[in-house]
Structure 1
């Protein structure tokens, strides 16, 4: 994934996790299923620690769980690069499922394709397994709320 030096993060992974925990506590409840593991210029890495709660019949990580990982990747990117406004919202998200995802860690490598004043477009590649194969790929758009006077 190419580094985008013109996009500078304004929050660390720890700060993003703390903000998400405070504004969206129901995401993980008492577990640490979804987390931001890294923030870098132009993107971030998020992880789903998939266990029995995330499986559909047949032992496959469910589509909704992977969709949530993609959405959390976009949210972590917009927070870490546009600023800590919890009111950033998903405008669109399209996902393609490539292969079966087994329980265990699934990493989402998220890259900002465009960051404007009101919209951020991103792509996320979700990889899992010992070979790190792509299990799903998604693109999406987040709306960035206008800056408010404090």
Structure 2
């Protein structure tokens, strides 16, 4: 199991997530939490957080959780549902492992806003390349 410091170092190369402002805040066996302060650059024309920003945050949480064990893992399939319009502010994505085999894994990711509203849910299937 990689430490949070090792994961932060590894994911420095994930420039898109870094430019979006995603930060790893927690990682443990089978799960990870990442956060992002959504501001004007993350908003759509309606003034809420753009779906792509929510997707990126959720996908990044999956990536951190799935790679914490040291086996390079990439996503094969993602399905996201947007449940509640997210306003600017702190967003938190929590990835939880559902299952894992030698070559595949499945995770559920929830994204919440500062008020604790569930704004999005993602289901991810990953491929373990290592």
Gaps of 5+ in 2: none
How many residues align? The count is 130
Structure 2 partner of 1:67 = 55
Give, in whole Å, the separation in 2 of the partners of 1:124 and 1:104: 19
Counterpart contact for 2:71–2:129, Cα < 8 Å: no
Cα distance, 1:42–1:27 mapped onto 2, change above 3 Å: closer
Q: Determine the structure 2 residue equivalent to 1:103.
A: 88
1:76 maps onto 2:64 in alignment: yes
| TM-score normalised by the chain length of structure 1 | 0.80
Gaps of 5+ in 1: 1-9
1:25 aligns with 2:15: yes
Aligned partner of residue 68 in structure 2, secondary structure: helix
Shift in Å, 1:95: 0.4
TM-score by length of 2: 0.91
Structure 1 distance, partners of 2:102, 2:71, is 14
Cα displacement (A) at 1:84: 5.6
Using a 3 Å threshold, how does the CA distance of structure 1 residues 84 and 50 change in structure 2: closer, same or farther?
farther
